[in-house]
A and B are shown apart, each in its own frame.
Chain A
Amino acid sequence: MGSRIDRDQIRKLYEHHSRGLFAYACSFVSSFASAEDALHQVFERMLRGDLEIEGEPVPYLYRAVRNVALNQIRNRSREVNLEDTWLESPAGMELSGFELQSSLKDLPEEQREVIVLHVWGEMSFDEVAAALGISPNTAASRYRYGLSKLRDQFQVGARSKTRSEHGRAR
């Protein structure tokens, strides 16, 4: 059952969910510009009336952003710019920011998205669960597993990086 929604509704959806949707896009693509692009594309399509919403609008939007983001990875992976991160690092912690982003990429998708939504999308587990169409308990447990994995990986990564930065003479 497809339904068109009017501009005011779209605006409301944008106000309430753009941050979460943006964070969600960030969990797939590695550049700020691509994530922003994915978010805007979905809303632009909706404004033009090209996008018919099926079922609940919020989970639908998340699925739409995910599809656009994944398409982008497929189509323009060669454009990714190392400096164009979606995380703003505190002064002096830029390297940790890079490392964090690359450690995030190594997590399974289902854990990564929950972490990004909860930590940076500032969403409660209930909200995350509603957005992704999973139960709040699942969201919380994925978060817990993901977080401890990330912690291990990030610390291991940080250690092995320091080692490899010294390099070795042939």
Chain B
Amino acid sequence: MDEHDKQFESYLRQFRLKNPAPLPELASLKRRSSVKWVLAAAAVVVAAGVSMVLVREAGSNAGPKATVEAAGNPSLYRVGETIEAGKVVQSNSAVGLLLALEDGSRVEMREQSELKLESAGEGIRVHLNSGSILVNAAKQGAGHLYVQTRDAMVSVVGTVFLVRAEQSGTTVAVVEGEVHVQQGAELKKLLPGEQMATNPSIKLKTVAEVISWSRSSSEYVALLQQSSAETGPRSADPAVEGQTEVAPRIIASEPNTNLTTPLSNNRLPFKVQANYVRVTSNQIRTLITIELMNRDLAFQDVYGAKRGDGHIEGTIYRIDNSRLPGFSQDVMVELPSNTFAASLDQPTLFQESRYLTPGKYKLHITVEDKNAQRIGVQDYVLDIPRIPDQSLQASSMILAYSVTDRPAGMLAIDMFALGEKRVKPNASGVFRPTDNLNVWQEIYGLTVDPVSRKPSATFEMLISQNKQEIRKSTSSSTDLTGSGQQLTYTNSVPLGNFGQGTYDIQIKVTDNLAKASLVTVGMFSVVSPSAQSDPPPNNAGRQIFERTCTACHNAQAAMGLGSLALQFSASDRELLADKRAELEELTKRGLTSNHPDVMKVRTEIEALNLRASDAVRSYGSFVSQHLNKFGGTITPTEVSTLAQYLFEEAGKKTEAAIPSDLPLQRQRIVK
């Protein structure tokens, strides 16, 4: 072991292994994921007059979460909003709410209902305080789904059923599958079309009647008729069974049992860019620009104009996942009807600015088109630079659609206001030949001549393509506004005679007094208007991915996929390639297939292949689970194509977990 290894080892030892919790005592041990045990315990505990509470073991993750899938208007909740465990969810007096649970189950709340999500062992418990819910339970894996009311507990395998909690008692009705209702010491089993009430004074209507409020009631009624046709009429008074073991019942995860909700496999595309401008060395104004293309929005006619409505929400997280104040605003795009068609190819920009201290942050942005019920979600890394005093420094170089003087009456904190200028950044970095390339940059810390009290600096802007100079322009500090501490550099270049392609741009500031220069580099591209659509997908797996996965491709999914890649990691792939080469080598040497060396390598290759196909299968189940959760549709054959595609993609070298489209910005000090 050499010196470097020793050093590296002590570097590694700086990181400490976290301490696991001590082993719980034997008495407090709980068996997990055993339905038999759960029900037996329920019988005992409830009989003793205590409501059953399954506490999650220490060290487990936070509780279950739900996502709002559909909310009426007006509603307290927004589509896409995450509801944490323990939070009370109320549907208001006029409209219901549709929640998607983490396990893929859907909970449809009737108006005027109230519930709370809790974790229950390895499953999820929906605590229904009042009102009615219709649960479409996903096939349960390791966990279990429970609905708890004041006086009953319903446990689920994979079904559609209704629970109504009233002052007088609870009603449970089953549409599909089988549920178990625990009331006191009694355990009742309900089959499709059956229902029960905890209080005999509650008058039961037919199942079809009690679910009539659901937006999917017609589907459910059809399901009910189908199941009664299959099995014949059922007794209205189900047998009471004290110690029934629930046989896991597998229902088809095909979309026919899903609620009809707007499919979200059609995401709203948008671009984000962040630019950093110094306020003090430790406070950076971060401009977050969101760019939407008008043609991606849905418009409605309003008084001779076309109007698009949206909502933009941004959350900023620190590296430790704590949240900083984000932004949330309704936005409106109004286009005159007469020029509407031409405006569709124009972008619409929104900007937010935040003052942040240097460091890394995660920015999570959701953009919703209210008319089309479409959402786009993106995660960005904000890498906020430290811009120290007393040395030559610069803000981000902003490549903009327009840089104009700030109009009178526009405040310095208004959208797009940047010092004395109004800057509309081009978040995508893609310009058209009809555009001008506008450049804006602030330069800090130029040396001031002690006599004239003025800085002396030269600015050189160079645009090049493939290292070939295309355009160069030079100016000096006397042409610019500002003082030595802060100068604003702007430039504008018509792109009319620029061919299509990608260009490099570089701004070099030379402080003639301090004899130092600073170079900022960036990139932009020029395309013709017709060529601005996304590049065509190049294979079937990719097409399916684009159509389905990117719709819900959020950070959580990315992490899930990232961890799946572990099942057959890059080194496993290398190993497999090595072993295959080894086998070839051995065969070349003339060894027969029953030579021990050959057999050994064969077995190793087989084991690796087995793991690879396991990994592909995991991708498949991940994809179908995940899409189910987000209401997307995908056929079984597509699942396998997609799984294979994801598996192959994972084999290509892993990249940073969170995609970052921020423009290239490198700075270097030249002596």
Residues of chain A having any CB pair with chain B under 8 Å? 7, 14, 18-19, 22-23, 26, 30-33, 35-37, 39-40, 43-44, 47-48, 73-90, 93-95, 97, 100, 102, 105-108, 119-121, 144, 147-148, 150-151, 161, 164-170
Whether A170 and B26, one on each chain, are in contact in the complex, defined by CB atoms closer than 8 angstroms, is no
Q: Per-residue 0/1 for B398-425: is the Cβ within 8 Å of any A Cβ (1 yes, 0 no)?
A: 0100000000000000000000000000
Instruction: Kindly list 5 other residue pairs between chains A and B, CB separation below 8 angstroms, not including A78-B563, A88-B17.
Output: A44-B24, A81-B559, A82-B559, A87-B16, A167-B661
Query: How many whole Å from A90's CB to the nearest CB in chain B?
Result: 5
| Chain B: CB-nearest residue to A89 | B15
Verify A87–B15 contact, CB threshold 8 A: yes
Q: How far is the CA of A18 from the CA of B580 in the complex (A)?
A: 39
If A7-B26, A148-B5 touch, does A169 touch B15 (CB 8 Å cutoff)?
no
By CB atoms of chain A within 10 A, which of B13, B23, B429, B562 has the most? B23
CB proximity to A under 8 Å, residues B362-420: 381, 383, 399
Q: Which residue of B lies closest to A121 (CB)?
A: B17
Contact B15 A90 (CB under 8 A): yes
Specify which of B1, B23, B556, B559 is in contact with A144 (CB 8 Å cutoff): B1
Q: Which residues of B contact A147 (CB under 8 A)?
A: 1, 5, 8-9
Question: Can you list, as one digit per residue, whether each of B141-182 has a CB less than 8 Å from chain A (1) or not (0)?
Answer: 110000000000000000000000000000000000000000
In the docked arrangement, what's the CA distance between A108 and B604, Å?
A: 14
- Report whether A165 and B18 are in contact in the complex, using a CB–CB cutoff of 8 Å: no
Q: Does B342 contact A (CB under 8 A)?
A: no
Residues of B within 8 A of A44 (CB): 23-24, 29
Assess the B660–A164 pair: CB atoms within 8 A. yes
Q: A73-B563, A73-B567, A119-B12 given as contacts; is B5 within 8 A of A36 (CB)?
A: no
**CB-defined contacts of B383 to chain A, threshold 8 Å:** 165-166
- Interface on chain B toward A: helix, strand, loop, or mixed SS? mixed
Known: A77-B560, A78-B626, A87-B17. A168 touches B523 (CB 8 A): yes
Pick from A22, A88, A97, A168: contact of B664, CB below 8 A. A168
Known contacts A18-B23, A169-B663; A77 and B567 CB within 8 A of each other: yes
Binding site for A on B (CB under 8 A): 1, 4-5, 8-9, 12-18, 20-21, 23-24, 26, 29, 31, 57, 59-61, 141-142, 319-321, 360, 381, 383, 399, 428-430, 522-525, 556, 559-560, 562-564, 566-567, 569-572, 575, 614, 618, 622, 625-626, 654-657, 660-666
Do residues B320 and A83 form an inter-chain contact, with CB atoms below 8 A? yes
Contacts of B563 in A (CB 8 A): 30, 73, 77-78, 80
A39–B666 Cα distance when bound, in Å, is 46
CA distance A79 to B563 in the complex (A): 9
CB neighbours of B29 from chain A (8 A): 44, 47-48
- Are A75 and B141 in contact, CB atoms less than 8 angstroms apart? yes
> How many angstroms between the C-alpha atoms of A80 and B141 in the bound complex?
16
Contact B9 A108 (CB under 8 A): no
B618 touches A74 (CB 8 A): yes
B618 partner, pick from A77, A88, A106, beta carbons under 8 A: A77
* In contact, A166 and B664 (Cβ under 8 angstroms): yes
CA separation between A47 and B5, bound complex, in Å? 41
CA distance A164 to B523 in the complex (A): 15
**CB distance B571 to A36 under 8 Å?**
no
Tell whether, in the assembled complex, residue A94 and residue B319 are in contact, meaning their CB atoms are under 8 Å apart.
yes
Q: Which of B1, B57, B657 contacts A82 (CB 8 A)?
A: B657
CA separation between A23 and B16, bound complex, in Å?
A: 11
Closest Cβ of chain B: how far from A105's Cβ, in Å?
6
Most chain A beta-carbon contacts within 10 A, residue among B321, B564, B625, B656: B656
Pairs A-B, 7 closest by C-beta atoms: A169-B429, A169-B663, A78-B560, A167-B660, A120-B17, A80-B563, A167-B662
- Give every chain B residue within 8 A of A95 (Cβ-Cβ): 319, 360
A165-B381, A166-B666 given as contacts; is B18 within 8 A of A86 (CB)?
Answer: yes
Bound form: Cα–Cα A78–B625 in Å: 10
List 22 A-B pairs, Cβ < 8 Å: A33-B59, A37-B59, A40-B24, A47-B29, A48-B31, A73-B566, A77-B618, A79-B61, A87-B17, A88-B15, A88-B16, A95-B360, A106-B571, A107-B571, A147-B1, A148-B5, A165-B383, A166-B660, A167-B664, A168-B664, A169-B662, A170-B429
